[in-house]
Amino acid sequence: MASGLPVIASDLPLNREICQDAGVYFSRFSPEELADRVLEVVVTPSVAFRLRARGLERSRDFSGSRHTDELVSLATQLAGV
């Protein structure tokens, strides 16, 4: 997402949680649906553009340093320090 590439992911709760509407999904273990989603993105510029824009926007919700800060804060709280 952060690279501006369209996301095509298997329809798992984790992928939906991370990508939300910044991805298109296919049933896991379905190569036919995967191929359909890839074709949809390739032949429909508006879909690719929407996924690219939403992916860039969604990727801003994730930050390695913020994640690390939150983990350190939680560990400190749990340790009672």
DSSP 16-50: HHHHGGGEEEE-TT-HHHHHHHHHHHHH-HHHHHH
In a domain, 67, yes or no: yes
Please give the Cα distance from 44 to 24 (Å, whole number): 13
In a domain, 2, yes or no: no
The predicted structure's pLDDT at residue 67: 80
Instruction: Provide the domain count of the chain.
Output: 1
Whether residue 81 is predicted with pLDDT greater than 80 in this model: the reply is: no
In a domain, 75, yes or no: yes
pTM: predicted TM-score of the whole model, two decimal places: 0.77
Q: Which domain holds residue 39?
A: 7-79
The predicted structure's pLDDT at residue 63: 79
Task: Report angle CA 37, 12, 57 to the nearest 5 degrees.
Answer: 70
Whether residue 29 is predicted with pLDDT greater than 90 in this model: the reply is: yes
Question: Is the sign of the CA dihedral 52, 49, 16, 12 positive or negative?
Answer: negative
In a domain, 1, yes or no: no
Strand partners, 26: 10
The predicted structure's pLDDT at residue 65: 84
Q: What is the mean pLDDT of residues 43-59?
A: 97
